Amino acid sequence: MALSEFKLIQTYFNRSNETAEPDILLGIGDDCAILRPKPGQDLLLSIDTLIEGVHFPQGTAAYQLGWRSLAVNLSDLAAMGAQPAWFTLALALPDSDEGWLSEFSRGLFDLADQHQIRLIGGDTTRGPLSITIQVHGYTPTGKALRRDGALAGDALYVTGFPGEAGAGLRRIQQGGYTDTDHLIRRFYQPRPRLAFGQLIRDLAHSAIDISDGLLADIGHIFERSGVGACVDVDAIPCSAPLVEAEGAVEALRLALTAGDDYELCFTAAAEHHAQIMHHAQACQLPVTRIGTITFEPGLSLINASGNSVVMEGRGYQHF
Amino acid sequence: MALSEFKLIQTYFNRSNETAEPDILLGIGDDCAILRPKPGQDLLLSIDTLIEGVHFPQGTAAYQLGWRSLAVNLSDLAAMGAQPAWFTLALALPDSDEGWLSEFSRGLFDLADQHQIRLIGGDTTRGPLSITIQVHGYTPTGKALRRDGALAGDALYVTGFPGEAGAGLRRIQQGGYTDTDHLIRRFYQPRPRLAFGQLIRDLAHSAIDISDGLLADIGHIFERSGVGACVDVDAIPCSAPLVEAEGAVEALRLALTAGDDYELCFTAAAEHHAQIMHHAQACQLPVTRIGTITFEPGLSLINASGNSVVMEGRGYQHF
């Protein structure tokens, strides 16, 4: 690279002069970072790679890419109810474009600062554009919110408005959009639900973040928990911008099946409903009950009248 | 991919049925892995990416790639004197060739098992071939061996035979080699010096692994430590296979400047020499004193007679 790896890291990624955290003994600059994990806490970690042309369109603005790369990883911490602590970044770049690096690191640190997570190490190299981030966070010992804890009878919830990111991606692929459009921003700048995840950690029995699509991720919960789920399609929250952009039928299909929303889907005993809604309000986050966990394995869809419905092709049909 | 990500991970990477470690509460299969770091220990971590055509030649055998990807990361733990604990793997693959995956995972786990490090999570995706691994290890609190602790008067050491991997890479690039050649194996299958790193942890003042080349990495030590170094070029251990392949002059140049060896370079008070050699013998690892840390900043090269020499072009010349 024109810019040496050392210079690049120093200029765009090393902020070691900022206020030190007591659990970070050594960040960027040696063979390893040195951490002293907090006592009484479990350490949670997750790694994800974003590759140009696979996970984001070619030409994605660097700021948005910096944000999104960290956001999708933070969402994994949110889904487990963890408090963010540190992250590492492995960045492969075709060249060292300083304008790009400046914007990428600005997007990355804007989100990192919001959630007080520190960059402690990484690797930069030449190669096809790809970003791998590993995030680390804490929960009190034994308190992590897993996807395998759902119980029959649990209420099933979703945060926010699923399907918006999918509709945003469709617009990006079609072209002719502006980056400030609501749906576009929902794809490029997902907001990991960290505060809410920590608030429901002691109430919820299971949780997952919606990266594969709402129904697919509900499937991951009930399969791992050895139960089933009944989803009321009339309860699925379809936002006004989504319905306006796609029409009611397609909006619902996207809400049920499109990925990339990074909202949380979780289950909890019905008796905690009021408390969950209280936490939702505290986070100014829409939270909707969309179904129930069942003894019977598998997924069933019903409408508000309680009749079975079936997804088919681009919509759903009543039996 | 033809093979689903889930199936691929289950088949080639999930060995969660093996004996559980008490600090691994949950490995592969949820949004995050859950760890309970050992009390009284610092946690060390390092992330590195290997990209086809940049860090390894196209057509590298999958077994060797699996080994090498983990080895270069384990070497970072070795350089800090850490004991390996867990690793994560983010793998981008152009397609899901089952023969390739089988061999890659075999190479990866052959080395992982030697050093008892567990795969606890990861990400697989389609994309240009690249492997990102993050390793995690322990040292007793405050005992990590850093590169910034060298003191004037320290003896300077190197393990093994630097330059062999560089000569191996040259042969690979020229073609017409066999994978079992000693120099080729030294490039593809570096042996991270983990046991020795842990043994010298309480004796050495500083250490680094040789990935950039011996002189460059000595430079990283003395720059970070605010000292200088004097290296006796006649003391540099050039192995018989290296000298046979490259001749004495070129062998020395490779030993001083070629990267990829993943040997350790370290400094320690001269009074510990006998104990260091004792540990070297216990590890059956050649260890050579090659110089001294100096008050004067910068690097100086001398020969066995104590006269200054200077590196120039493809060799070195006396003043």
C-alpha B66/C-alpha B77 separation (Å) is 18
Predicted confidence at residue B2, as pLDDT, reads 54
The reply to whether residue A32 touches residue B44, judged by beta carbons under 8 angstroms, is yes
**Which residues from A are below 8 Å from B88, CB to CB?**
45, 47, 134
Distances (CA, A) of B187 to A25, B15, B56: 33, 28, 9
| Residue-wise pLDDT tens digits, B2-59 | 567 767 777 888 876 555 788 999 888 888 999 999 999 999 999 999 999 888 888 8
Q: Give the gap in angstroms from C-alpha B226 to the nearest C-alpha of chain A.
A: 14
Is the model's pLDDT at A315 over the cut of 50?
no
The reply to whether residue A44 touches residue B32, judged by beta carbons under 8 angstroms, is yes
Question: Where do the DSSP E strands lie in B141-198?
Answer: 155-159
Whether A5-140 and A155-318 share one fold: the answer is: no
Nearest CA in chain A to B129: A128
Pair of tokens at residue B42 = 């610092």
Task: Give me the residues paired with residue A124 across strands.
Answer: A91
C-alpha B150/C-alpha A30 separation (Å) is 13
Mean pLDDT, range B86-108, rounded to an integer: 92
The reply to whether residue A77 touches residue B208, judged by beta carbons under 8 angstroms, is no
| Residue-wise pLDDT tens digits, B209-250 | 998 899 999 999 999 999 999 999 999 999 999 999 999 999
The identity of residue B132, as a single letter, is: T
| Residue A19 contacts residue A107 (beta carbons within 8 Å) | no
| Residue B155 contacts residue B287 (beta carbons within 8 Å) | no
**Which residues from B are below 8 Å from A22, CB to CB?**
none
Q: Which CATH class is domain A155-318?
A: alpha beta
Nearest Cβ partner for A31 among B42, B46, B125? B46
Task: Give me the residues paired with residue A267 across strands.
Answer: A156, A206
Q: What is the sign, positive or negative, of the torsion defined by CA atoms of A268, A269, A270, A275?
A: negative
**Which residues from A are below 8 Å from B125, CB to CB?**
49, 51, 54-55
Pair of tokens at residue A200 = 């429901």
- The mean pLDDT value of chain A amounts to 91
- ipTM entry: 0.91
Pair of tokens at residue A122 = 């990484």
Distances (CA, A) of B305 to B88, B153, B231: 49, 19, 12
Domain ranges across chain B: 5-140, 155-308
Task: Give me the residues paired with residue B310 across strands.
Answer: B317
Which residue, among B14, B32, B132, would best test binding to A if mutated, counting the most A CBs under 10 Å from its CB? B32
Which range among A123-127, A241-245, A267-271, A308-312 shows the weakest confidence by mean pLDDT? A308-312
**Total-model pTM:** 0.92
Phi, psi of A40 (to 5 degrees): 75, 10
| Residue-wise pLDDT tens digits, B161-192 | 999 999 999 998 888 777 778 999 999 999 99
Nearest Cβ partner for A88 among B26, B35, B47? B47
**Beta strand B228-232 with B298-302: parallel, antiparallel or unpaired?**
parallel
Nearest CA in chain B to A126: B54
| Residue B137 contacts residue B77 (beta carbons within 8 Å) | yes
Q: What is the sign, positive or negative, of the torsion defined by CA atoms of B217, B222, B228, B232?
A: negative
| CATH, domain range A5-140 | 3.30.1330.10
Half-sphere exposure (Cβ direction) of B74: Cα atoms closer than 13 Å: 31
**Which residues from B are below 8 Å from A43, CB to CB?**
34-37, 43
Distances (CA, A) of A302 to A230, A291, A292, B188, B314: 7, 9, 11, 57, 76
pLDDT band for position A1 (50/70/90)?
Answer: very low
- DSSP assignment string, A217-268: HHHHHHHHHT-EEEEEGGGS---HHHHHHH-HHHHHHHHHH------EEEEE
The reply to whether residue B79 touches residue A31, judged by beta carbons under 8 angstroms, is yes
First to last CA, chain B: 61
| Residue-wise pLDDT tens digits, A137-178 | 999 999 999 999 999 999 999 999 999 999 999 998 888 777
Radius of gyration of chain B (CA): 20
**3.40.50.300, 3.40.47.10, 3.90.650.10, 3.40.50.2300: which CATH number matches B155-308?**
3.90.650.10
Phi, psi of A250 (to 5 degrees): -70, -35
C-alpha B238/C-alpha B234 separation (Å) is 10
